[in-house]
A and B are shown apart, each in its own frame.
Chain A
Amino acid sequence: MGLSAITVLGAARPGVVAEVTSVFTRYGANIEDSAMTLLGGHVAMMLLVSGRVPPASAFPGMTVTAAEAGRGHGCEQPGLGYVLTVHGPDRPGIVSAVSGALTAAGGVITGMTTRLCGSLYVMIADVRLPPEADVAEVMRRLAAAGAGLGCEITFRPAEAEVL
């Protein structure tokens, strides 16, 4: 069955998730992976959906995009998991500088949240590093990036808790 990547963006209001998901149900589509968050006053949903994709007109008042998504791209990145925290004064280029330092070490960001709280910018990222990565070198690169941005950076192993 085909897989589609769908984004839904609209004003946050009570019942919006039920409203959106009921459209997929009505069209016989199955929501597989999904993520939803509130960004400012907006609700943002990203969904991988199998089956018949509803037309954008089925979501009145929402901005909807859909694209075909292939299967088998792998749901597990190889390597070891880490959590990165960056916080400091808001300024342009924080995510770019920090993600660049990770990419240079072969790291992959598998999830990211950023928040602006007043003048405080916060970035939390789930990161996977290849097994052969020099973690000390990664931390030196991150520390250098943080110093250049006036930000505090912590980089620590992710808790596994698989029992």
Chain B
Amino acid sequence: MFGTAQLLGVLASGVSRQLIGAPHPVLTTRALPVDPADPGVVAAAADLLATMRRSHRCMGLTAPQIGLGWRLLSVDVSRHPRTRSCAGEFVMANPRLVSASRWERAREGCLSVPGITGDVSRATRITVRGEHPGSGAPVTLHADAFEARCIQHQLDHLDGVLFLDHVTGTRSVHQGARERCDR
């Protein structure tokens, strides 16, 4: 178990990792639950944050996107103009969606699928439960608007699903920014 100061130190000392791009099996395979108190999981959480901070366009990331088939996600939507609820920068282990309502369609992209975006229908109000890396303390998060969309996009990654699997039709696919991932 980590003390608070020790945990903050570990989470701040992550290393930016290579971002995995599709096609890659780790992006289409369901990720495995983790022990949130495991030092390796805490280190991976720190790496997720460090990797997310590297790109100004990255507002969410999952362990599979850095090559780990673990149920870990990080999110920070504080810089997005469509953000309403904002939990700031956070990382969550074993997240699960416990409620979702008010679906809306909007365009989204993914750093692991550069050059293409798509219209996807997602809930705009959600509740997610998971665990805090390090302490293992249960975490409940209520999110709406863009933060809700971002979290659902990351939850899909943990289930081996890409946003492409949700686009609403052929006219819902668009060219997107070609910011490259690392491979």
Residues of A whose CB lies within 8 Å of any CB of B are 38, 83, 85, 87-89, 111-113, 115, 117-120, 122, 124-126, 150, 152, 154, 158-159
Residues of B whose CB lies within 8 Å of any CB of A are 21-23, 28, 113-116, 118, 121, 162, 164-165, 167-173, 175, 180
Closest to A117 in B: B115
A120 touching B21, Cβ below 8 Å: yes
A113 shortest CB reach to chain B, Å: 4
Number of residue pairs across A and B with beta carbons under 8 Å? 62
A152-B165 contact in complex given A111-B171, A124-B173, C-beta closer than 8 Å: yes
B169 touching A87, Cβ below 8 Å: no
Task: Give chain B's interface secondary structure class.
Answer: mixed
Q: How far apart sit A111 and B172, CA to CA, in the bound complex (Å)?
A: 11
B88 shortest CB reach to chain A, Å: 32
A156 shortest CB reach to chain B, Å: 8
Residues of A within 8 Å of B165, CB to CB, are 85, 87, 152, 154
Residues of A within 8 Å of B121, CB to CB, are 159
Q: How far apart sit A125 and B28, CA to CA, in the bound complex (Å)?
A: 20
A126-B21 contact in complex given A85-B164, A117-B116, C-beta closer than 8 Å: no
Q: How far apart sit A150 and B180, CA to CA, in the bound complex (Å)?
A: 23
B170 touching A111, Cβ below 8 Å: yes
Q: How far apart sit A83 and B172, CA to CA, in the bound complex (Å)?
A: 11
